[in-house]
Structure 1
């Protein structure tokens, strides 16, 4: 294991948040510019990252970035390619769920449009690669407050330490404390839904097929993992989700089977079950002088399109490119005009994706027969139009819009 860099007091970039966004940004910056001083601040010990039981959908563009950063080879053996995706729309009591839309194929030969990757593999790989390049870590510790001046930002930590940096990046999640301290307001809608996340084993192989079942309470997604296992993202009303998570295993598996079906044989829980509240949170600004938001701190969206993590990776690629190129031009990485380039690149795209997921959730999470007939007609129409399907696959792969270099697999 690489030795951690000693904690200094002055850095070019301080990153609050040691999740996939914070770690990936630290790695991208350090790999492109080894002289850049980077520190990651996080309240949890980094050594427990391998205990995260969840899995994430990684778009093809994101896997290209991870390959460019030197970590894809460390995790690809644990990654499950998604070879096909089907979409159904039905009521819970329906005996048959017609498939209205099918996505399949590869972005390029041998490159699926997405993979499912265990967080317990991806996060430690990002951490170890960052440490090896000299990224410093203040963990476990947390940023309690900060003050900005013309030349720097001063960050006070819970431990009593004080760090100084040219730029502070808040990658501390959808309930970002630092975003609030920076005075950045958000637009927020609570959906009254929660997403139940767990892993199941099943008798039969999934053959790399993902399934999205639109049910009246919300989408029920079955996402393939290695072996005869799948990750579930199961949307219910918040009250029902709480009841299900707290129920005994027999009741939970019975309700699970009603939604999952019998096409993959007998089911068995293979991990903890947790419920997370769902909503839409969009920051009105992504940057302030010497301060920037990234990942869920900038945009928290519904998981209906599976794009939350990939939007965070887009933030990483765009912000890293802006900062590294600014340094090469002799510019101050914390200057507002530099950070504005990042905001122009990412804010509209985040707003657009937030609106799309919001509309999809409102359209599909209901039991209105008229809306059901209209959306099923629309899904069937899309399924018969290769051009539109191709654009959807391009979006799901992470290649829509002007792509930062890292998402194209190019170095900064």
Structure 2
């Protein structure tokens, strides 16, 4: 009814696309509501009061929004329309959230989500989406991500592109807030998003999409990249057929278990991020990290002593996907280890995707085979992945490590991104 006049701001709150037009549209709905006869269908009154409330909320008229939405919710409850109870309850929860009444909002979100799960499964994704944004604003980023990832799975199953896009935008904001929190805790010198500024600049100058451009792109990047990489704590190392202290390759059964877990996680719980799918690691990855001394692998290959991995994520790529050049947020650690779990492609494929880095002296491409890994400093080495070819797929796990030397945690004297 008013959808075309409402959009979302950077904080994902509803705002007018045109304030005057929305105010006029709300006025017309109020005129219609006042003109309804006393014996009018309650459903029409419920619909009008709901949309008046949504419009007023978007305009910032919170008291009027609360009044209208409470009236609409009461009508829905009185008439036994539980579907409307869920939908309007979420709107009323939003109105309480917008005015700063987190306690009332929380109760309404939980009630709507429980009712949707019990009686209206088609509305569960909506309830999860609204509840996730509420948790995000309260600072419960872990809870927000869990709700939004569940919503994303449901919306992908619905095959509704706009709904998927909306949930992905919310997940992207959760990730942004998480990275900002990590950067604030780990690298006080990066409060303004230093990594993101450099990523924006890099992507304006080059891309992993067209490797043929690299030679012509690089001269313009050389000095800037050299200024960044001069501070890095780990140089990229491609480790093939890795052997650990017992002089044996990574245990094949552990790699197989992790690969199976990763592919299931990416397929069922994965969320879109930078053109690929990420997913939380599980028992198999944790067991692998317990059985294999990954800190020793990093130390031997880089010379930097690190603690055992403090974080990890599964990554999945399929045909056509790629990851453009970027810098990681400092919170992931002073060293990263990307381990290839599976790499499927047709026999004789002319193009094979690779993990790529920009160094001060040019580009480094690492075509990882299963069991291979690459160790690098993701916060200070521009990196990405070239596009996957037809019928190609790659499954990876990325571990993050903190240096034992606490001085290495703080990044100071870093060059600002060119303009």
TM-score normalized by structure 2? Answer: 0.21
The one of the two structures with greater contact order (alpha-carbon pairs below 8 A, sep at least 6) is 1
The structure with more radius of gyration:
2
Which structure: greater strand fraction?
1
TM-score normalized by structure 1? Answer: 0.21
